[in-house]
Amino acid sequence: MPTTIRHGEARGHANFGWLDSRHTFSFGHYHDPLHMGFGALRVINEDRVSPGAGFDTHGHADMEIISYVLEGALEHKDSIGTGSVIRPGEVQRMTAGTGIRHSEFNASASEPVHFLQIWIVPAERGLEPGYEQKAFSEAERSGAWKLVGSREGRDGSVTIHQDVDLYSSLLANGDTLTFEVQPGRRVWLQVARGTLTANGETLYAGDGLGLTGAGALALTATDDAEVLLFDLAL
């Protein structure tokens, strides 16, 4: 089963003072033809935003944008009238579709916010802009794969307009977890926090691992860890 490892320290890096951002795949001024995405998964940015700072209103189109907060709180406002604050354990999906404008700011004047911004190319262009946000408890994510996003919005997950299942898991030190990659599928594992081994490879926070083709992905946490797993079509 072909394996790709993307070490966190090798990611693209942009630091604007108020924003410290690490890019798993090419983004903005960072371009690497060897890291343009993984199937429909186009962007994983790990962002840290200073208190009171954020992204001013800007536009997007034809992209599924997922925000996943690790620490702090992220305030979202957009041109279709949505306003919310995203906190740890919550997943927000915004369908940019035919066009949407939004802003994202650290909701705190004293604490930083740390989050992952994820872009997935939709299965079709020209969708109606939309938004969805749901919370997932620590209990249902602990030591298990919790589906937090899917094409059909299965099992209470947010709806993503692409053939992708997105899982979240919290692992305590020593926990083991396995995922079976099905024929015709590929998987990307992103380590959000902590350390673990994946099929014998040691991964740290910020690292990613891609698997192509059928087989098993076996994880063992060597510290408390938080991971996201993207199950995508080839």
CATH of the domain at 79: 2.60.120.10
Which of the residue ranges 35-39, 79-83, 88-92, 196-200 would you say has the lowest mean pLDDT? 79-83
With bands split at pLDDT 50, 70 and 90, how would you rate the model's confidence at 83? confident
- Residue 223 pLDDT > 80, yes or no? yes
With bands split at pLDDT 50, 70 and 90, how would you rate the model's confidence at 94? very high
Kindly report whether the global pTM for this prediction surpasses the value 0.85. Answer: yes
* Domains contained in the chain, number: 1
How far apart CA 72 and CA 46 sit, in angstroms, is 14
| Bigger pLDDT: 117 vs 80 | 117
Could you tell me the residue range of the domain that residue 128 belongs to? 3-233
How far apart CA 134 and CA 147 sit, in angstroms, is 12
Q: pLDDT digit string (tens) for 99-136?
A: 999 999 999 999 999 999 999 999 999 999 999 999 99
Contacts with 211 (C-beta within 8 Å, 6 or more apart), sequence order: 1, 2, 3, 4, 181, 186, 187, 189, 217
Kindly list the strands in the beta sheet with 19-23, ordered across the sheet, starting from the edge strand earlier in the chain: 12-15, 19-23, 41-49, 113-120, 64-71, 90-95, 130-135
